[in-house]
Structure 1
Amino acid sequence: MITDSIYNDQKATTAAITISYMQSAGFHIATNSIFELLYKINGWMLSGVCGAMIYGRSRIGKTSAIAYIVDALHVRYGENFPILVWSLTEHGSKVTDKSFYAGILNVLGIDIGKYNRITALELKIKVINYFAIKAAETPFNKAIMIIDEAYKLDEAEYYWLMDIYNTLRLQHQIQLSIFFVGTPREMICTRDSFILQKKDQIVERFFINEYRFSGIKSCEELAYCLSELDKTKVHEALPIDSNVGLVEFFFPYAYVDSKATFLSIAEEYWEAFNEVKFKYAINFDDIPMQYFMQSFLQCLISYGTGSLNPKYFLHKNDITLAIEETGYGRINSDE
């Protein structure tokens, strides 16, 4: 019937909208490592630590962790609490002090006017004034800067960061904490290079404190992630009800018959990952968050409502195939 066809199209659209939302930067769930990192960053910031390095191998979930932590800190300290997240994905190889300060202002969304007519000092003042004003508007007099892909920073940039820190602290009584994020190989090499060069000022300010970020390390942690996904609602295409959970929508018969949950398949999910790890000789103890989420979405795409072959519910073989579809094991970082 035409009505059935329209309804099925609506369900397929809802499935696509929901999966797209869960792939977006706005969707993230917490892991044990994210909670630990949040605790560390909060403690460092409160104790007045100048900086620290945070590292974890590729695809482990560092970027999502940063997004979650920024949201959590804004909930705790207010939306006006100044936190700058600066990703150096397009960082130039020849950085001047002028381009350095302009880069920060660009991330902050501050118009610098005629770039050729403004000096590096004027740009620096704009950066310092931003943090000074924003931090003073809160009762904490603190600010945070998180630099992702931090291994791309030049030595001079660390001194410019120290200058910003010192000016804020001495002239404005504002405490700025700077956190450098990257992979273990790159961040540790950067630190060791500064140690060999006896750059004690840089090392003592930015590299004494560190945290190694990891993925999902146990079945219990994976179960927690699945329980969070049990709380997630679909993003609907009208007239589908907007207060419907993922299991109820993607696996309706299992939900109606037994109130099935993703938490109930945690052990099978963990075993599936371990089988793939054994097959491809993966030696890491933890599972990168990116592969977990990709495999979960692949399960919804391949076996849930809106798929060509919808299933009653997920089983270990289905999950194993979904994990392999992500490239886990065949495309794996050795960092």
Structure 2
Amino acid sequence: MQSDDKLLEIHPLIQRNYCACSRQIADAAALIYSWVEMAIPGAIIYAKPRMGKSRLIQFIQENFSLDFGKNIPIYSIEWTSHSPKENTFFEILLDKFNHDIPFEGRAIEKRKRLRNHIITIVSESKQNKIIIFIDEAHRLKKLEYEWLLDTYNDLERHGIILITFLVAEDKILRTFNELRAKKEMQIIGRFMTETYRFTGLMQINDFKFLLNEFDNNLKFPQDSDLTYTKFFFKEQYEQGFRLSNYLNQLIEALKFIQYKYNISEYKEVPGMYAVRCIEEILKTHGRFGTNVNELNTQHWINALESCGYISGSNSVDNEKVIDASYRKDL
């Protein structure tokens, strides 16, 4: 059995290599599973920056087989800003699909290589579908959609359904509207049949759900009963300490911070900052820090001021268009 100090060094929370399931992630995952069941060819999942889109992809990759009950291959690609070139496009896909020879040959050879590689992957999975998440998909250019469409059609001729989820900032809606205005229905019908806005935490129950994840569901080591809260507040946990007991104090701290720093246009808290705020509480006030027996509003205020929420929210505010649907009181 490793010592607590050793466990602390490699703890996923310290390493930040874990995925906390917010209610937004759980709801989005359930919807995506239903889309896969219906075999829709593609959908847009969009959100403002820092809401947790990449964590959603990570959560689905880690939990899909168990939750969905089928071993459908899943791949994810973070799209970059670059000039649209056919060679580059297929090199990126071959590389992300772990092909041994992603960069050699002409574009037409890479097309065939990608098709044959995907056919092999799908055949080995004993399914007829393959899922690809394209993160930062608002960077995709028109030509790249056309090459992706060629790939979809090529695979379809071989009995394979390519399901593409475009995960992007909300600026992808401009691309969608431009394509629709130009009647590019082939692209829309393949990759944009549904749209879903992925939000941050907007209601009290959203925060309660997330706190409960740390209290009861996130564990390390995974085969132990050491939830993240229990590991950092070990003695207090045995006496009934739970982060969710201090939900009201967290909400009061949020209201204070939003008023103090004029974060007033909307009450949507990005998932990234909500998680980092909780991390700050566990690290700073658990047994490896001040080791308090109870949390108060000031503890949460300090955590919110330390986690990047203020500067991040103000930068988003400066760029955003006011959307009445964000005006939900905590």
Bin of the TM-score, shorter chain as denominator length: 0.7 to 0.9
Q: Secondary structure of 1:94's match?
A: coil
Which residue, 24, 43, 59 being the options, matches 2:50? 59
Tell me, in whole angstroms, the C-alpha distance in 2 between the residues paired with 1:220 and 1:288: 15
Aligned to 1:183: 169
Runs of 5+ unmatched residues, structure 2: 321-330
Tell me, in whole angstroms, the C-alpha distance in 2 between the residues paired with 1:251 and 1:329: 27
Change (3 A) 1:252 1:86: closer
Q: Report matched runs for 1:97-176 at 5 Å.
A: 97-112=86-101, 115-116=103-104, 118-170=105-157, 172-176=158-162
Aligned to 1:87: 78
Q: Report matched runs for 1:205-244 at 5 Å.
A: 205-231=190-216, 232-234=218-220, 243-244=225-226
CA contact (8 A) 1:251 1:313 kept: no
Tell me, in whole angstroms, the C-alpha distance in 1 between the residues paired with 2:145 and 2:92: 14
> Could you report, residue by residue, the CA deviation over 1:119-178 in whole angstroms, capped at 9, with x for unpaired residues?
2122111211222222233454111111000111111110111111111112x1111111
Given residue 36 of structure 1, which amino acid in structure 2 is its aligned partner? D
Change (3 A) 1:233 1:74: closer
Given residue 168 of structure 2, which amino acid in structure 1 is its aligned partner? G
Shift of 1:200: 2.7
- Higher relative contact order at CA 8 Å, sep ≥6: structure 1 or structure 2? 1
Which residue, 269, 276, 287 being the options, matches 2:250? 269
The number of aligned residues is 312
Change (3 A) 1:244 1:38: closer
Given residue 106 of structure 2, which amino acid in structure 1 is its aligned partner? T
Which residue, 219, 232, 235 being the options, matches 1:250? 232
Which residue, 60, 63, 79 being the options, matches 1:72? 63
Shift of 1:275: 2.2
TM-score normalised by length of structure 2: 0.86
Q: Secondary structure of 2:196's match?
A: strand
Tell me, in whole angstroms, the C-alpha distance in 1 between the residues paired with 2:47 and 2:110: 33
Shift of 1:87: 0.5
Tell me, in whole angstroms, the C-alpha distance in 1 between the residues paired with 2:156 and 2:125: 16
Change (3 A) 1:13 1:38: same
Change (3 A) 1:76 1:20: closer
CA contact (8 A) 1:194 1:203 kept: yes
Q: Secondary structure of 1:215's match?
A: coil
Change (3 A) 1:330 1:77: closer
Aligned to 1:3: none
Aligned to 1:289: 271
> Could you report, residue by residue, the CA deviation over 1:183-227 in whole angstroms, capped at 9, with x for unpaired residues?
11x211111222333323222332241000012222222112111
Tell me, in whole angstroms, the C-alpha distance in 2 between the residues paired with 1:285 and 1:50: 34
Runs of 5+ unmatched residues, structure 1: 1-9, 237-241
Shift of 1:21: 4.6
CA contact (8 A) 1:136 1:174 kept: no
Moved over 6 A (4+): none
CA contact (8 A) 2:215 2:230 kept: no
Given residue 109 of structure 1, which amino acid in structure 2 is its aligned partner? N
Shift of 1:54: 0.6
User: For the pair shown, which has the larger CA radius of gyration, 1 or 2?
Assistant: 1
Which residue, 10, 14, 20 being the options, matches 1:17? 10
Aligned to 1:302: 284
CA contact (8 A) 1:48 1:175 kept: yes
Corresponding position: 1:38 with 2:29: yes
Change (3 A) 1:66 1:19: closer
Given residue 59 of structure 2, which amino acid in structure 1 is its aligned partner? Y
CA contact (8 A) 1:81 1:134 kept: no
Tell me, in whole angstroms, the C-alpha distance in 1 between the residues paired with 2:37 and 2:118: 17
Given residue 304 of structure 1, which amino acid in structure 2 is its aligned partner? G
- The 10-residue stretch of structure 1 (72-81 or 324-333) with the greater mean CA deviation from structure 2: 72-81
CA contact (8 A) 1:82 1:131 kept: no
Shift of 1:94: 1.6
Which residue, 79, 85, 92 being the options, matches 1:96? 85
Q: Secondary structure of 1:29's match?
A: coil
TM-score normalised by length of structure 1: 0.84
Tell me, in whole angstroms, the C-alpha distance in 2 between the residues paired with 1:69 and 1:107: 17
CA contact (8 A) 1:21 1:235 kept: no
